[in-house]
Amino acid sequence: MNRPDRRTFAIISHPDAGKTTLTEKLLLFGGAIHLAGEVKARGANRRARSDWMKIEQQRGISVTSSVMTFEREGITFNLLDTPGHEDFSEDTYRTLTAVDSAVMVIDAAKGIEAQTRKLFEVCRLRSVPIITFVNKVDREGRDAFALLDEIADMLALDVTPMSWPVGMGGLFEGIYDLNANRLMQPSGDSRAFEGKTASFSGLDDPKLADALSAQGLERLREEAELAVGGYGEFDPEAYRHGDLTPVYFGSALKEFGVGELIDALARFAPPPRPQPAEPAPVSPDHAGVTGFVFKVQANMDPQHRDRIAFMRLCSGKFRRGMKLTPSGSGKPIAVHSPIMFFAQDRELAEEAWPGDIIGIPNHGTLRVGDTLTEGEGIRFTGLPNFAPEILRRVALVDPTKTKQLRKALDDLSEEGVIQVFYPEIGSNWVVGVVGQLQLEVLLSRLEAEYKVAARLEPSPWDTARWIAGDDAAIKAFASINSSQLSRDRDGALVFMAKSAWEVGYVQERNPDIRFSATKER
Ligand code: G4P
């Protein structure tokens, strides 16, 4: 089967490094011109979409991920947005399970920051290859060599500079492409890149003297020579294994380096890769349609209970209307109105290919982690739940709303906003999250969408572990520890502990029970 070419990727960065700006420019270069400036509508332009999104507005962050698609030279690029706030969330992790590569954006003045590093570690777990974009060279930044060395040292990655900035900030004269020997230069009052490009035979080409100041030329020759000699040549294989990152310098704001970045994604970034699954990894060339749900999002309109499941297609050719069976319910569903998340609008998809993301509207039948197939016994693995780091008891302001609260907690845990734990004894329902922000989203959505006023109170528990073992062992364990047992949304048994130390202590005394900090679905 002749599959159309796809690059499915995410941008990882620390807040403020320029992810939104770069996203806008990528879409601009990819033809979705009218969209530039609207990816993160700012200030008064921002439309109120639903109550819980007020949190996004107030804090200027994007809580939800979305999918943007653009095309260039016959390749379709699917860009999955990862939430940019500092709270590491499960949402982010799961989004990164659905990409084949990532672009790491670094602020030239700040280098590697905390969130970049965390997200990088997630990519490394799955050997996701990374292209680095050092942003904001139009401003004063750190020395380019220091930045490269920091990437290499802090992330234990080999680096290969692919381009070089001729000065930064006030001294910025352009970006030199070290492979193609081209110089991209600023023009006009804005000093932005408007296409002014000159080609040279090499760094010793005398014509370079006409393009740059004497100081700029001397600097470029000296630095670029050192850079080319000092770092290894670009090795596409090492990049695809996640051992080496090619580094591009640029300015998203002034549009430097954006075209080169797209070219790099087209040339080097991997097309859809085989996905880990049971009983065996699924190749994109596998004939049957398979995919997994990495995110579920409630309708933007709180009046409607329907939700959109984001499915990454892993194999086969998807056609609108086809029947797929989710691993969760086991009941086939006909996918009549799938949504493609084109940047400009949501469009109905007639067909989709491995690497594409489609949105499937449903009323809660599809869950994060579900595998969808045409009836094959395949399950994608590696979409874990994480042991929550923050646990809170949910207290109702109006005690007659118990039923609504239960429904809301079930729904929101299905979406992956929170995890919920129902104790075996008593009714102190507990919610768990990995980041503080999730709690704010929870309260806000409970109120806006379910009309349930609730408070979060300290819980006696500090951490939780999924437990497993043979029936007799579990029964024996449960008879002694029932006051510390809960069930999650799926009915799986969870041991609630007062501290990590207690987990270790109990674990030692119960060698027949497996305690797990993640639960794979
Ligand atoms: P984020 O999504 O990673 O959080 O970053 P975002 O793109 O919102 O950029 C953060 C700030 O950095 C913005 O300025 C943006 O204009 C600026 N910026 C992004 N890329 C570049 C660049 O290449 N050069 C320079 N000089 N600045 C850049 P802001 O003042 O916070 O926002 P705004 O008022 O411009 O919207």
Interface pTM, i.e. ipTM: 0.97
Written as six digits, the tokens of 31 are 């033809």
CA gap 257, 144 in Å, rounded: 15
Tell me the per-residue pLDDT of 182-240, one tens digit each, with 9 for 90 and over: 999 999 999 999 999 999 999 999 999 999 999 999 999 999 999 999 999 999 999 99
Mean per-residue pLDDT for 429-458? Answer: 88
Q: For residues 453, 459, 461 and 465, what is the CA-based torsion angle, rounded to 10 degrees? A: 0
Mean per-residue pLDDT for 248-258? Answer: 97
The answer to whether residues 291 and 272 touch, using CB atoms and an 8 Å cutoff, is: no
The verdict on whether residue 135 carries a ligand-binding annotation is: yes
CA gap 117, 151 in Å, rounded: 10
Secondary structure (DSSP) of 217-228: HHHHHHHHHHHH
Q: Which atom from ligand 1 is nearest to the alpha carbon of 256? A: 23
Mean per-residue pLDDT for 87-98? Answer: 77
- The mean predicted confidence, pLDDT, of the chain is 86
Q: Which atom from ligand 1 is nearest to the alpha carbon of 250? A: 23
* Ligand 1, pocket residues at CB < 6 Å: 13, 15-21, 42, 84, 135-136, 138-139, 251-254
**Which pTM value belongs to this model?**
0.81
* Structural domains for the chain: 6-268 (3.40.50.300), 277-380 (3.40.50.300), 384-520 (3.30.70.3280)
Q: 333-342, 425-434, 446-455 — which is least confidently predicted?
A: 333-342
The verdict on whether residue 283 carries a ligand-binding annotation is: no
| Confidence band for 304, pLDDT divided at 50, 70 and 90 | low
CA gap 294, 96 in Å, rounded: 9
Going by C-alpha positions, the residue among 182, 165, 178 that lies closest to residue 228 is 178
The beta strands (E) that lie in 436-479 are given as 454-458, 463-468
Residue 51 pLDDT exceeds 90 = no
pLDDT for 91? 73
Q: Could you tell me the distance, in angstroms and rounded to a whole number, from the CA of residue 18 to the centre of ligand 1?
A: 5
Name the helix (H) or strand (E) containing 487: strand 485-487
CA gap 439, 209 in Å, rounded: 59
Tell me the per-residue pLDDT of 328-340, one tens digit each, with 9 for 90 and over: 788 999 998 887 6
Mean per-residue pLDDT for 118-136? Answer: 91
Q: Could you tell me the distance, in angstroms and rounded to a whole number, from the CA of residue 154 to the centre of ligand 1?
A: 24
The beta strands (E) that lie in 370-411 are given as 371-373, 379-380, 384-386, 390-396
Tracing tokens 């599809």 back to the chain, one arrives at: 366
Going by C-alpha positions, the residue among 270, 264, 299, 227 that lies closest to residue 445 is 299
Q: How far is CA 260 from CA 16, 268, 307, in A?
A: 22, 12, 37
Written as six digits, the tokens of 392 are 């809170």
Q: Could you tell me the distance, in angstroms and rounded to a whole number, from the CA of residue 271 to the centre of ligand 1?
A: 30
| Confidence band for 385, pLDDT divided at 50, 70 and 90 | low
Cis upstream peptide for 279 (omega within 30°)? yes
Q: Could you tell me the distance, in angstroms and rounded to a whole number, from the CA of residue 252 to the centre of ligand 1?
A: 8
| Confidence band for 42, pLDDT divided at 50, 70 and 90 | very low
Going by alpha carbons, the residue nearest to atom 29 of ligand 1 is 16
| Confidence band for 444, pLDDT divided at 50, 70 and 90 | confident
Residue among 113, 253, 255 to mutate when testing ligand 1 (max atoms within 8 A of CB): 253
Amino acid at 17: A
The verdict on whether residue 2 carries a ligand-binding annotation is: no
Mean per-residue pLDDT for 289-295? Answer: 94
Residue among 16, 79, 168, 190 to mutate when testing ligand 1 (max atoms within 8 A of CB): 16
